[in-house]
Amino acid sequence: MSIGPAWYLGLAAALFALGALGVMVRRNVLVMFMCIELMLNAANLTFVTFSRVLGDIGGESLVFFVLVVAAAEVVVGLGVVVAIFRRRASTTADDLHGMKG
Amino acid sequence: MSVLVAATVPDIMTFVICAVVVLSGGIGVVMSRNAVHAALSLVLTLFGIAVLFVEQHAYFLAAVQVIVYAGAIVVLFLFVIMFLGVDRTEDVRSEPLEGQRPLALVMIAISLAGVLALSATANWVTGAHHVAGSLTAGHHTDTFLLGKSIFTTYLWAFEATAGLLVVAVVGAVVLARRPSHVHDEDAAPQRPLEHDRGGPEAPGSASAPVPGGGEPAAAGEATDAGKATDAGEAAGAVSHAEVGR
């Protein structure tokens, strides 16, 4: 048997915190996307852990859907990044201040 | 819980190694200046998560994790990074918002400590087992159970997923399409091309009256600057000089 769920949940929380920190600190849009992927993976790890602990297939099914949504999100997000880069030649989030009052 | 007691030494070693790999990969994503290094650190994290899935008997999800994340999403990231230019590294030291990074670090540390303290001391109320379907009934593999769950219980969500993927593909195509009618102010990358086109033209048009008019300084300036506006001004000055003469 595997070790207890508390360790997995602690690891997932730490990974989620790392991803949130990256989104707050970094300014490159691509790296911010990667940090969002880190947070999604932390949530997936939590789902799988609870699925094992509760003997429930629902958590694993939800991980499947999270994977699909993450793939769609990355496709659209990177399309937006490329479209912005084509107009402004920059991938830094600070340069996107077109709607600043 | 009984699972706490039944942990064996290989399980503990696997978990510790994977935790180190996952967290170091995450730190690499957050800290690395080069976006390619960040993407490769992301691969490290995703593999660690996949091994942790195997450790928790979610074999199908581990395979899907490696194939979809490491095989498709990270490759897409790397493709876009290469497409936009590999050599642009972020200047990590400059801080546009004063004191933002220490504040973010402190807030994240407080939140993480709060979550860990709460989950260590509070009572968990998620006690109901086998709500959406049992994972342990019978001797089926997790792939069988997952497929059965997705194609029966979550069938409509699965169909909505297909719609979502179609929308994402159409959106990506629309975003990546170059607009057919391009105005001059919309097309930012075309400006340097105009500069280059104006550069060689300007000395020729400016130097044509120069042998008669005798203004080599203005023509030389236009050649050095190589800008269309300077060349236009120089040509205008030369023509004015011609009219005055």
Helix axes A5-25, B35-55, angle to 10 degrees: 160
ipTM attached to this prediction: 0.91
CB contact under 8 A, A15 and B149: no
Helix axes B100-121, A5-25, angle to 10 degrees: 160
Note which residues in 15-34 of chain A have CB less than 8 A from chain B: 15, 17-22, 24-28, 30-31, 33-34
At residue B119 the predicted structure's pLDDT band, cuts being 50, 70 and 90, is confident
**What residue has token string 């719609």?**
B163
Indicate the range of A2-11, B85-94, B133-142, B218-227 predicted with least confidence.
B218-227
pLDDT of B140: 81
pLDDT tens across A17-45, in order? Answer: 999 999 998 888 899 999 999 999 999 99
Give CA–CA dist B198/A21, Å, rounded.
Answer: 47
Q: Which of B121, B98, B172, B207 is nearest to A75 (CA)?
A: B172
At residue B225 the predicted structure's pLDDT band, cuts being 50, 70 and 90, is very low
pLDDT of B19: 95
pLDDT tens across B59-104, in order? Answer: 999 999 999 988 899 999 999 998 887 666 666 666 677 788 889 9
pLDDT averaged over every residue in chain A? 88
CB contact under 8 A, B133 and A10: no
Mean pLDDT of B5-28: 89
pLDDT of B212: 42
Mean pLDDT of A64-69: 93
Residue B23 has pLDDT above 90, yes or no: yes
CB contact under 8 A, B73 and A37: yes
Quick check: A50 contacting B, CB < 8 Å?
yes
Give CA–CA dist B30/A15, Å, rounded.
Answer: 11
Q: Which H or E run contains B155?
A: helix B155-176
Q: Which of A66, A3, A81, A43 is nearest to B76 (CA)?
A: A81
pLDDT of B91: 64
Residue B148 has pLDDT above 80, yes or no: yes
